[in-house]
Amino acid sequence: MADEQPSGRIKRFLDYLETISKILGGVSIPIAGLFVTLALHQQTESNQRAQLYANIMTGREKADSDVRAQMFSRLLDRYLVTSGGATLDGFRDRVMFLDLVQANFEEYFNARPLFTRLYEQIRDQERRTLGGDRPAWGALKQQLFEIARDTTSRQVALLVRSGHLTEDIVVPMTPADNATPSQPSVSQRIALYSTRGLTGLNGLFVPAEDGWAAPPGPGADAGKDRDTGRSQEDGRKRYSIIIRVNQILESAAKVTVFLYEDVYKKKRLVPEESVAQVRPIEFEVSYFSTPYMDNTRLFGGSRFSVIYDGCIDPSVEDQVCRFPLKASAQPRAQFKVITFDEAFLSQRDRPYVDQILEKIGASKGR
């Protein structure tokens, strides 16, 4: 009897466990199915949100492109229609139309030839006018310059967020008899990179302010350049330029640019090992040149643009260059140089992929 009593207890315990397992099995299967259904529903809803957002972005860009295409066609047609008039009011209308074109299509359309041609026509009209309208033609020409300066300033303000800017570069014009290979330029070197933490630049490079570049974001590597995002370890390629001014005009300067690869050892410049990389580049930089359109590609996937800021003449009291220049004039051209990532040119005014994913994730969280 004593042996049967524990055996009965075990049997009852096993029966109890069997009953509990049947109950749990009957309840857990529907609950598990409910959770699986809920997870599939959430995933489907997230995919639908992503698809909806992609469709909205595609439709918005298509509508924006259609509006821009119609506007561009109408503005250009109207500009060409008004180009026949040689009156002051007719030229004012043409300046207004070019201002609208530049403000709305600066990232798609290089309007420099139109601005240059219009400037030449206004300049010729100013020279031919001898009466009281002459100052009005001069004011219209200055208005054209101001439109170009505003456009350039706006583009620089956007590019400098992820780039490097050097300002206040003053370069005297090189006389023709001094333009020899042994004297390639009278300007100092202009670094196309951040010089923070580097030494050995004094007296050789144009002083640069490194505060223009945007600081690294959260989680960014503090040991990287703010303007390029690449490591500052010794041996990384860094480039600088020298500008020689061959001719200064009222709206432009003809320059020669020499590109150098700067060598650093323990973050100190080694000038004797810095060598020119390519043949000198000759081009004209004017008020109507824009960084978006007029730039030069470097070897590391970045670009730089030389921006013309005007002319000064220290030999006169107000330091204003008056054209045509006199033989006694001492003209000096003013420039800015900006370096930026070439990926900006294909992504400006468009959302980045991580921004789209962030928006989708925020919608999913809500």
Three-state DSSP string of 48-59: HHHHHHHHHHHH
Mean pLDDT rounded to a whole number for the chain = 79
What average pLDDT score do residues 298-314 get?
Answer: 91
What average pLDDT score do residues 336-350 get?
Answer: 75
Could you tell me which residues are beta bridge partners of residue 40? none
Could you tell me if residue 26 is left (phi over 0), alpha (psi between -120 and 50 degrees) or otherwise beta? alpha
CA distance 355 to 116: 39
Q: Which pLDDT does position 83 carry in this prediction?
A: 56
Distance of CA 364 to the CA centre of its chain: 33
CA distance 343 to 317: 45
For residue 354, pLDDT over 80 is answered with no
By CB neighbour count within 10 A (0-12 exposed, 13-18 middle, 19+ buried), where does 203 fall? exposed
CA distance 149 to 137: 19
Q: Which pLDDT does position 152 carry in this prediction?
A: 95
Amino acid letter, 97: F
CA distance 366 to 362: 6
Structure tokens at 172: 């005297």
Instruction: Collapse the DSSP code of 248 into the 3-class scheme (helix H, G, I; strand E, B; otherwise coil) and give the result.
Output: strand
What average pLDDT score do residues 95-106 get?
Answer: 88
For residue 357, pLDDT over 60 is answered with no
DSSP string computed for 188-219: PBEESS--TT-BS-TTTB----GGGSPPP-TT
| 176 pLDDT tier (thresholds 50, 70, 90) | low
| 184 pLDDT tier (thresholds 50, 70, 90) | very low
Lowest-confidence region among 21-35, 165-179, 341-355: 341-355
| 208 pLDDT tier (thresholds 50, 70, 90) | low
Give the 3-state secondary structure percentages of the chain, helix then strand then coil, rounded to 5: 45, 20, 35
Distance of CA 70 to the CA centre of its chain: 26
State percent of the chain over pLDDT 90: 38
Residue 255's nearest CA partner among 137, 200, 197, 337 is 337
CA distance 70 to 63: 11
Q: Which pLDDT does position 218 carry in this prediction?
A: 35
pTM attached to this predicted model: 0.71
Amino acid letter, 209: E
CA distance 292 to 342: 10
Q: Which pLDDT does position 126 carry in this prediction?
A: 93
